[in-house]
């Protein structure tokens, strides 16, 4: 996938436009549309990134798709460019992630806000437009073999867009398979705990040793008593 990194436009855009972008970004962060999350770059407010949940009932359901908007120094007279950073099989998304949607092309208006763009991209996941396909294969399958299109789109979603689950540590796996290893680990933890408390574990008598010492003491006391008799 081609790089979609952009040079910061903080110095290129006029203060009133930067103020508008900042206000919109923070408003979306505080009250996000359903299924959309905004990421704020405090150092560069023109670095606009968000994640969109795959709408239910579509091949993208269950996926989390990250995207970004690249603003030019002519913004808002010129529309931003939209890119998916997450790989997706969609007629209107090129292999480099570029998004083709009329809102970012002929239907663009300077008054369109960031929220409007994000909602439009989310709608594009529900209603693809094969007539303006950037991915010709996806567009063809959508029109001619929808089941095949859906199957492939779901597979790509499963591979690239599924939220990562917390991985189980190797020690946990070993403990589950090898109880002795788990016991050793617990003993190590006990040792560390004793060290923290300033106690020398080697000087602590075991229960059996304590019982033996008590029995020996009783024997000695009994012998002394018999001698007195």
Query: What is the domain extent for residue 120?
Result: 15-161
Matching residue, tokens 């090898």: 178
- The total number of structural domains that make up the chain: 1
Phi-psi region of 62 (alpha: psi -120 to 50; beta: other; left: phi over 0): left
Locate all alpha helices (DSSP H) within the chain, ordered by sequence.
15-30, 114-126, 136-144, 146-156, 170-177, 179-196, 207-228
Read off the pLDDT band of 42 (50, 70, 90): confident
Q: Please check whether residue 224 lies inside any domain of the structure.
A: no
pLDDT tens, 163-176? 877 655 443 333 33
Answer yes or no: are the C-beta atoms of 28 and 37 closer than 8 Å.
no
pLDDT score for 214? 59
Is 148 domain-assigned? yes
Maximum mean pLDDT: which of 39-43, 193-197, 204-208: 39-43
Q: Looking at the domain assignment, is residue 192 inside a domain?
A: no
Q: What does the alpha-carbon distance between residue 35 and residue 23 come to, in Å, rounded to a whole number?
A: 20
Point out the residues that are catalytic: 100
Phi-psi region of 130 (alpha: psi -120 to 50; beta: other; left: phi over 0): alpha
At residue 223 the predicted structure's pLDDT band, cuts being 50, 70 and 90, is low
The CATH number covering residue 118 comes to 3.10.110.10
Sign of torsion over alpha carbons 141, 145, 146, 151? negative
pTM of the predicted model as reported, rounded to 2 decimal places: 0.68
The token duo for 54 is 């795959």
Q: CA–CA separation, 212 vs 209, rounded Å?
A: 5
Can you tell me whether residue 185 is helix, strand or coil? helix
Domain presence at residue 210: no
Residue 98 belongs to some domain of the structure: yes
What is the Cα–Cα distance from 63 to 4, expressed in whole angstroms? 21
Q: What is the pLDDT of residue 164?
A: 74
Structure tokens at 26: 């923070």
> What SS3 state is found at 79?
coil
214 within domain boundaries: no
Least-confidence region, from 9-13, 15-19, 168-172, 214-218: 168-172
């Amino acid at each position: 996938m081609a790089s979609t990194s952009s040079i910061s436009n903080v110095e290129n855009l006029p203060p009133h436009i930067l103020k508008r972008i900042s206000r919109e970004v923070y408003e979306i962060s505080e009250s996000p549309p359903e299924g959309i999350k905004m990421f704020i770059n405090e150092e560069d407010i023109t670095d606009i990134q968000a994640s969109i949940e795959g709408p239910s009932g579509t091949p993208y359901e269950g996926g989390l798709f990250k995207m970004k908007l690249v603003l030019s120094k002519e913004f808002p007279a010129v529309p931003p460019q939209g890119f998916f950073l997450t790989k997706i099989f969609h007629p209107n998304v090129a292999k480099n992630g570029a998004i083709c949607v009329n809102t970012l092309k002929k239907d663009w208006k300077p008054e369109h806000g960031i929220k409007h763009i994000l909602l439009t991209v989310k709608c594009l996941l529900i209603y693809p437009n094969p007539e303006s396909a950037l991915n010709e294969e996806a567009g063809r399958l959508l029109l001619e073999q929808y089941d095949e299109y859906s199957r492939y789109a779901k597979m790509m979603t499963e591979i690239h867009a599924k939220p990562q689950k917390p991985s189980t540590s190797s020690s946990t796996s070993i403990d589950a398979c090898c109880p002795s290893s788990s016991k050793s680990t617990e003993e190590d933890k006990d040792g560390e705990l004793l060290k923290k408390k300033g106690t020398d574990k080697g000087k602590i008598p075991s229960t059996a040793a304590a019982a033996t010492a008590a029995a020996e003491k009783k024997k000695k006391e009994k012998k002394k008593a018999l001698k007195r008799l």
